[in-house]
């Protein structure tokens, strides 16, 4: 973002982010504003968020630090990744953020946690390690990024193939998760209803990490044809909270009338992270609709992020 922000402004936005008495959607908007500002002061304010009681907010703080991409966040992200008192979903996002920043100095810590007792953390670190290797491989030289979104992804798309081939690879567990993620992002970048439906076939996988990433990209794609697949996972009480939360956020992003009704239904869910995801999605949609939708010098939500 080219606009200059004074330290006082950044501090004021950081105070909103870190005020536990404020509504979560307001705190999320403060976080997205800080992500957009992306200065060292903004990073320091986001880093304060990790003492929060909400895993949802903390995992979004980690995601935003990864997307900003400044190595100044490596210290706090490394601490969060190694902190067993943090929710595994937050630790996962810290590991993924380290991969997104892509600094080779993270290799050791990622290696260590690639065998973490929490499966979602271990798998995240395995993928992040592969991304670090990929960033330095010869293929990278001629790589053309086809990502139509502004996200820094955990894996690059494949350079060849079609929807049928990518769907096959997506669901072939004999491949590494990194390779399957490559197929996943190929389908996401290709776009359209068929690619979205192909992606939704992965929601039956055994890895919670893999399924939550599928739900995340379906939220980016906003294809209404996958609403029933997403709501099936959200409704499944045996599904991991990490996956159900991401399905709720994707439904909030697709935002058809049917999505809103499902989100209202799960606003009182027994899992805090699911409940809060529905609450934030609904409140943000209300806020976007309201006429005063303007904050931090006209930074718009839709310009800055899809929630993770």
Largest CA-CA distance found in the chain, in angstroms, rounded: 53
Evaluate whether 58 touches 31 at the Cβ level (below 8 Å).
no
- Residue 245, marked binder: yes
- Contact status: 91 vs Fe ion (CB under 5 A): no
* Long-range contacts from 145-150, C-beta under 8 angstroms, 24+ separation: 146/189, 147/185, 147/189, 148/189, 148/191, 149/188, 149/220, 149/306
Q: Please write down the HEC assignment for all residues of 157-191.
A: CCCCCCHHHHHHHHCCCCCCHHHHHHHHHHHHHHC
- Residue 175, marked binder: no
CB of 57 or CB of 106, closer to Fe ion: 57
- Contact status: 308 vs Fe ion (CB under 5 A): yes
Helices and strands counted in the chain (H then E):
17, 0
* Long-range contacts from 150-154, C-beta under 8 angstroms, 24+ separation: 151/67, 151/220, 151/306, 152/66, 152/67, 152/69, 152/100, 153/181, 153/185, 154/96, 154/99, 154/100, 154/124, 154/127, 154/128, 154/181, 154/213
CA–CA distance, 146 with 231 (Å, rounded to integer): 29
**137: how many CB neighbours lie within 10 A of its CB?**
9
CB of 106 or CB of 280, closer to Fe ion: 280
- Residue 92, marked binder: yes
CB of 5 or CB of 185, closer to Fe ion: 185
- Residue 258, marked binder: no
CB of 123 or CB of 246, closer to Fe ion: 246
Name the closest residue to Fe ion (Cβ).
Answer: 308
Q: How far is the CB of 294 from Fe ion (least distance, A)?
A: 27
- Residue 213, marked binder: yes
Identify residues 208-247 at the interface with Fe ion (CB under 5 A). Answer: 246
- Residue 212, marked binder: yes
Q: How many residues at the interface with Fe ion, by CB under 5 A?
A: 2
Q: How far is the CB of 266 from Fe ion (least distance, A)?
A: 15
Identify residues 243-272 at the interface with Fe ion (CB under 5 A). Answer: 246
CB of 223 or CB of 249, closer to Fe ion: 249
Q: How far is the CB of 307 from Fe ion (least distance, A)?
A: 7
Residue with tokens 């409704």: 235
CB of 190 or CB of 245, closer to Fe ion: 245
CA–CA distance, 279 with 61 (Å, rounded to integer): 18
Q: How far is the CB of 7 from Fe ion (least distance, A)?
A: 30
Contact letters for Fe ion, residues 113-132 (x by CB under 5 A): --------------------
Q: How far is the CB of 60 from Fe ion (least distance, A)?
A: 7
Binding-site positions for Fe cation read 59-60, 92-93, 212-213, 245-246
Binding-site positions read 59-60, 92-93, 212-213, 245-246
Which residues contact Fe ion by CB under 5 A? Answer: 246, 308
């Amino acid at each position: 973002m080219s606009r200059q922000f004074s330290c006082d402004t950044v501090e004021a936005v950081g105070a909103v982010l870190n005020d536990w008495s404020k509504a979560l959607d307001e705190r999320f908007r403060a976080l997205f504003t800080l992500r957009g500002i992306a200065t060292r002061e903004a990073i320091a304010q986001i880093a304060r968020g990790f003492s929060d009681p909400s895993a949802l907010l903390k995992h979004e703080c980690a995601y935003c630090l990864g997307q900003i991409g400044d190595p100044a966040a490596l210290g706090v992200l490394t601490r969060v990744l190694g902190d067993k008192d943090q929710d595994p979903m937050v630790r996962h996002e810290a590991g993924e953020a380290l991969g997104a920043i892509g600094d080779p100095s993270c290799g050791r810590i990622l290696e260590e946690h690639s065998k973490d007792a929490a499966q979602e953390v271990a798998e995240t670190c395995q993928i992040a390690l592969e991304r670090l290797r990929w960033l330095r491989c010869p293929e990278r030289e001629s790589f053309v990024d086809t990502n139509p979104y502004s996200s820094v992804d955990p894996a690059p798309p494949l350079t060849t193939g079609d929807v049928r081939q990518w769907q096959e690879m997506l669901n072939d567990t004999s491949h590494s998760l990194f390779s399957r993620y490559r197929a996943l992002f190929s389908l996401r970048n290709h776009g359209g209803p068929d690619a979205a439906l192909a992606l939704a076939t992965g929601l039956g996988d055994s890895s919670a990490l893999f399924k939550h990433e599928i739900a995340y990209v379906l939220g980016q794609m906003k294809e209404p044809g996958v609403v029933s697949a997403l709501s099936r996972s959200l409704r499944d009480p045996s599904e991991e909270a990490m996956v159900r939360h991401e399905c709720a956020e994707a439904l909030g992003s697709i935002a058809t009338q049917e999505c809103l009704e499902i989100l209202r239904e799960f606003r009182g869910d027994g899992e805090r992270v699911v409940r809060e995801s529905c609450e934030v999605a609904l409140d943000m949609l209300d806020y976007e609709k309201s006429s005063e939708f303007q904050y931090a010098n006209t930074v718009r939500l839709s310009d800055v992020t899809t929630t993770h």
